[in-house]
Amino acid sequence: MDPTIEARLRQEFPAIAGVDEVGRGPWAGPVTAAAVVLDRGNIPPGMMDSKKLGARARAARSAEIHATAQVSIAHVGVAQIDRLNILRASLLAMRRAVEGLPQVPDLALIDGCHLPDGLPCKALALIRGDARAESVAAASIVAKVARDAIMGALSQQYPGYGWETNAGYGTAAHRAGLDSLGVTPHHRRSFRPIHNILCARKILNT
């Protein structure tokens, strides 16, 4: 983490929203984005990339962020993912997250190398932002916890795919579920593994 990045930017942009998304790679479920404006006088300790935290620590950190910061979370579902493609859907989720903040920030610090169109404020793309800037790390944590909760709930409706642990990624358990149970309404039909399954079954039924 490099605290000097946001410190330098705050000289010109006092209210910085860190923005990150999760769920670009999974075969099922939405893509989720979060925008977080940290309270500079009350930043939860130990902010870091959500990928380096265990589930329990991540959930605790997310609760602290919600209690002390401005937070907005947005989701884009499988229908729009299949219609737009996953990159555009991710950018749409990030734009919606920024738009959902209670106040328009001075700057949106976006994780990655692409900027969403139509943001209500100035924006800067920051590659590996979740490992370099506290507000982006906070957004990463919040988005991950929110999306994992969705996939956990979906796993109760559609057991057998392992979504409660794999979050929709293409694990062996997920593949086994597809083989035995088939494709659900929450699978991304534009993704090649799902597309191939649907095409193979269509051929068998003709």
Closest CA to 111 of 65, 157, 142, 80: 142
Closest CA to 71 of 133, 32, 17, 149: 17
What pLDDT score was predicted for residue 200?
76
- ∠ CA 60-1-101, rounded to 5°: 60
The pLDDT of residue 206 is above 60:
no
| Residue 56 CB contacts under 8 Å (≥ 6 apart), including other chains | none
2 pLDDT band (50/70/90 cuts)? low
How far is Cα 199 from Cα 146, in angstroms, rounded to an integer? 32
Q: What does the pLDDT look like over 9-49, one tens digit per residue? A: 999 999 999 999 999 999 999 999 999 999 988 888 777 66
Which carries the bigger pLDDT value, residue 204 or residue 26?
A: 26
Mean pLDDT of 68-72: 97
Domains, the chain, with CATH or none: 3-204 (3.30.420.10)
How far is Cα 194 from Cα 183, in angstroms, rounded to an integer? 7
Q: What does the pLDDT look like over 75-118, one tens digit per residue? A: 999 999 999 999 999 999 999 999 999 999 999 999 999 999 99
202 pLDDT band (50/70/90 cuts)? low
Q: What percent of the chain has pLDDT over 90?
A: 82
Exposure class string for 48-57: b at 16+ Cβ within 10 A, else e:
bbbeebeeee
Token pair listed for 13:
């942009």
